Amino acid sequence: MIVNGNEIEILAPAGSFDNLKTSILSGADSVYFGLSNFNARRNAENFSKFEDIKEAVDFCHLRGKKAHVTLNTLVYDNEIKDLIEEIEVINKVGFDAIIVQDLGVINILRQISKVPLHASTQLSVHNVSDAKKLKDMGFDRVVLSRELSLNEIKRIMDEVDVEVEIFIHGALCMSVSGQCYFSSALGERSGNRGLCAGVCRLPFCVKDKGRYDLSLKDVCFIDYIEEFANMGIASLKIEGRMKSNEYVKSVVSEIRNKIESGKYNKELLKDVFSRSGFTDGYITGKRNNMFGIRSEEDKSYTKAAVDEIRNKDIHEDKVKVNIKYDFSLGKNACLKMIDEDNNRVFVKSDIIEEAKNKPTTKENIEKNLLKLGSTVYHAENITGISDENIFLPVSKINEIRRNATDKLDEIRLSKFPSYDIDKLTKLKDKIRPIGSKNISVINDLSILDDFILDYFDETYIPLFDISKLNKDLIDKYKDKIGVEMPRVYFDDETDINKNLLKAKEFGIKKGLAHTIGKIHLLDEMDFDIMTGFGTNITNSYSVDLLEKEIRNLRNITLSFENTINNINKINTNTELSIIVYGYLPLMTARNCPIKEEIGCKNCNKNQYLIDRMDKKFRVKCNGQTSEIYNTYPLCIFDKLDRLDSDINKIFIFNNESIYDIKKVITYFEKKEMINNATRGCYFRKLL
């Protein structure tokens, strides 16, 4: 679509073939869908058989539309064979783009696929450094975090020459995508694995029971299409691979209406599906009144709206063709067809004979040549020559027309060639560094003292607390101290760079970061790098990619959504670490649920959310993001014999006193489980 002279794509969801057809016929420029595995909506109908996938992609390409495939979940080493088989299908059917989250999948695709790569929103792309590094890694497009404002999006676009895709309509997760572990911790189904249990849609409150303090309204940014186009945004993405045909039809149609006429029916969209209405809080930067649930009243409006939409005709954008024919007596019947992309076909048929009885008129010839209803084509113009006293059976005219459209189909589809998969280079056997460290990560500088710094081999403190660090501790322990970058940071990164420089002035050389962009910032400044759990590393190919991309890589924290058996099999030349103790951060949110219910004035670090089972989840707000922690600490001290001895052990301390920390260490040294603790995902069945 063209808006203010700028081309912008409407990208629609396709959870099924019906959804796909509805999206395309309603006016979407592209669709995105998943195959059997490795997509972030594994509970959608999706596409599994090769023939169905090929038919779906061809359906798009014949109409001049694009098909993007989602390969945007975390993958384990024992699934690589299945992943490669899925990539083989992707290569053969001619997809236009692959949407990816897992760094290991990126590593594999760069070797065995030529399909353009789009960085999934699950990669937590929320700042310039993230977009820039992904561009350098070969991504053609980045899908930005949904929490960004217009100004924040513009900053990224001004500084990074990469295509940008944003969500324009649909459901909002409370957490920044890729940084939510609520479902795996409470529902034993990982959102990073495409099986989110939707825990945030359940009741949570600070004080008043019956509230839903983690449930956001859906977004509707259709009013901002002109701003998006003027900024140069490439794609407007609609969320909804689990939604109905009527939902897809209405959203695509109303976006088209807005682009073509400047008007759209927002009330209709609200009735089709909303959670107490819509919000534009993120895009405007005015993040109030963003919470809502799917009420019974909402559901009652939907039924009437769905019936109305179902009965509305779809006006398909057909491919325009010009038809030229020559049906001269005594010559072969000839037909030329030229489509809007200047693809040309020429077909011949039998020699035209003189009519013995009723001649075939020019009117009848053109009437039958124009019968393109069952094809993707619409005749914009028809011209030709036909003698007056000729006879040509209707069946023969139809045959000539079908031959022409079939050949045109072939040409249009031939522009998307399939190719055989290259052989994946098998990872060489690597030698994991010998030795196991005990590492602490603290987010409250007031507890940092000689005891912690003496006991742990390395200790990481918040980057923005570097100025508060006791000078005596720096002088004594600077080789043990590292700085942890904020996992999610929406502001300009100038302050990050300033504080990194200050850390270097203090002689601190270690840095911990959770996203690929922040890791790269550390690399540029020659810090010894430890990657954090937010990088979501679950397989050997992800480790291999980090080893290729990051010059000063020293230590990799593996995802706590992995199992011990898988962890022990990771192939690496770099130190590996896992979290063995700590209250895990289950969600990183830009909206503060405490502020929503009781306001900032009453907020302090000991505020809690309470679920329907009366479990308490501590919430810590830093003014930019809120971190929601698990009710129980992770602890696997009694199972450490199951862990390879050369894997580092990380202790996260975020609300413990020195007394608490000493107690934790006592349990650790005795290899005993702490009361009321959880072993997390490490010993569960993989989901």
pLDDT at 151 over 90: yes
- pLDDT tens by residue, 45-57: 678 788 999 999 9
Confidence of residue 40 (pLDDT cuts 50, 70, 90): low
Compute how many other C-beta atoms are within 10 angstroms of the C-beta atom of residue 160.
22
> Is residue 307 situated within a structural domain?
no
CA 660 remoteness from chain centre: 39
Confidence of residue 201 (pLDDT cuts 50, 70, 90): very high
Residue closest to 222 by CA, chosen among 264, 185, 186: 264
pLDDT at res. 419: 82
Average pLDDT, the chain: 94
- pLDDT tens by residue, 213-271: 999 999 999 999 999 999 999 999 999 988 999 999 999 999 999 999 999 999 999 99
CA dist 361 and 327 (Å) reads 11
Beta-strand relationship, 528-531 and 553-557: parallel
Beta-strand relationship, 626-629 and 585-589: antiparallel
Which structure tokens are listed for 356?
Answer: 């013995």
pLDDT at res. 622: 84
User: CATH code at 73?
Assistant: 3.20.20.70
pLDDT at 603 over 70: no
Residue closest to 58 by CA, chosen among 31, 88, 85, 80: 31
Beta-strand relationship, 634-635 and 575-582: antiparallel
> Is residue 605 situated within a structural domain?
no
Confidence of residue 288 (pLDDT cuts 50, 70, 90): confident
Which structure tokens are listed for 603?
Answer: 């907020």
CA dist 408 and 291 (Å) reads 51
The pLDDT of 278-286, averaged and rounded, is 96
pLDDT at res. 161: 96
pLDDT at res. 308: 84
Amino acid letter, 128? V
Both 484 and 571 in one domain: the answer is yes
Which structure tokens are listed for 518?
Answer: 């922040």
pLDDT at 605 over 70: no
pLDDT at res. 232: 95
Both 409 and 548 in one domain: the answer is no
pLDDT at 157 over 90: yes
307 φ/ψ angles, rounded to the nearest 5 degrees: -60, -40
> Is residue 277 situated within a structural domain?
no
* Percent of the chain residues topping a pLDDT of 90: 84
pLDDT at res. 423: 84
User: CATH code at 665?
Assistant: 3.20.20.120
The pLDDT of 669-675, averaged and rounded, is 96
> Is residue 475 situated within a structural domain?
yes
The pLDDT of 292-317, averaged and rounded, is 87
Both 119 and 250 in one domain: the answer is yes
> Is residue 146 situated within a structural domain?
yes
Q: Where are the beta strands (DSSP E) in 402-500?
A: 438-442, 458-462, 481-484
> Is residue 285 situated within a structural domain?
no
12 membership: H or E segment, kind and range: strand 9-13
Global confidence as pTM = 0.94
Q: Which of 414, 430, 451 is the last residue of a domain?
A: 414
Residue closest to 570 by CA, chosen among 686, 687, 433: 433
Q: Which of 379, 414, 449 is the last residue of a domain?
A: 414
Both 75 and 160 in one domain: the answer is yes
Q: Where are the beta strands (DSSP E) in 214-328?
A: 218-220, 235-238, 278-279, 319-327
Confidence of residue 63 (pLDDT cuts 50, 70, 90): very high
Compute how many other C-beta atoms are within 10 angstroms of the C-beta atom of residue 456.
22
CA dist 10 and 576 (Å) reads 42
CA dist 32 and 39 (Å) reads 11
Both 328 and 398 in one domain: the answer is yes
The pLDDT of 138-148, averaged and rounded, is 97
Both 342 and 448 in one domain: the answer is no
The pLDDT of 149-163, averaged and rounded, is 97
pLDDT at res. 602: 64
> Is residue 75 situated within a structural domain?
yes
Q: At what angle do helices 394-414 and 50-62 cross, to 10 degrees?
A: 100
Both 540 and 467 in one domain: the answer is yes
Both 409 and 455 in one domain: the answer is no
CA–CA distances in Å: residue 478 to residues 461, 505, 506, 527: 12, 11, 8, 13
CA 243 remoteness from chain centre: 17
Both 407 and 446 in one domain: the answer is no
Q: Any residues with CB less than 8 A from the CB of 164 and at least 6 apart, and which?
A: 131, 141, 142, 144, 153, 156, 157, 232, 233, 234, 235
Least confident of 133-147, 186-200, 532-546: 186-200
> Is residue 572 situated within a structural domain?
yes
CA dist 247 and 271 (Å) reads 10
Report CA torsion sign: 23, 29, 33, 35.
positive
pLDDT at res. 313: 79
pLDDT at res. 666: 98
How many structural domains compose the chain? 3
Residue closest to 629 by CA, chosen among 614, 645, 643, 615: 615
pLDDT at 377 over 80: yes
- pLDDT tens by residue, 608-640: 999 999 999 999 988 889 999 999 999 999 999
CA 249 remoteness from chain centre: 22
Q: Any residues with CB less than 8 A from the CB of 229 and at least 6 apart, and which?
A: 3, 4, 6, 8
Domain that holds residue 368: 319-414
pLDDT at 110 over 90: yes
Q: Which residues pair with 335 in a beta bridge?
A: 325, 347
CA dist 133 and 3 (Å) reads 29
CA dist 345 and 449 (Å) reads 80
Q: How many helices (H) and strands (E) does the chain have?
A: 22, 33
Confidence of residue 686 (pLDDT cuts 50, 70, 90): low
pLDDT at res. 569: 94
pLDDT at 687 over 90: no
DSSP letters, 108-164, are: HHHHH--S-EEE-GGG---SHHHHHHHHHTT-SEEE--TT--HHHHHHHHHH--SEE
pLDDT at 41 over 90: no
Both 159 and 106 in one domain: the answer is yes
Better-predicted residue by pLDDT, 37 or 110: 110
Both 138 and 95 in one domain: the answer is yes
Instruction: Quote the DSSP letter at residue 183.
Output: I
Q: Which residues pair with 638 in a beta bridge?
A: none
pLDDT at 26 over 70: yes
Both 467 and 392 in one domain: the answer is no
CA–CA distances in Å: residue 493 to residues 130, 156, 326, 432: 11, 11, 67, 34
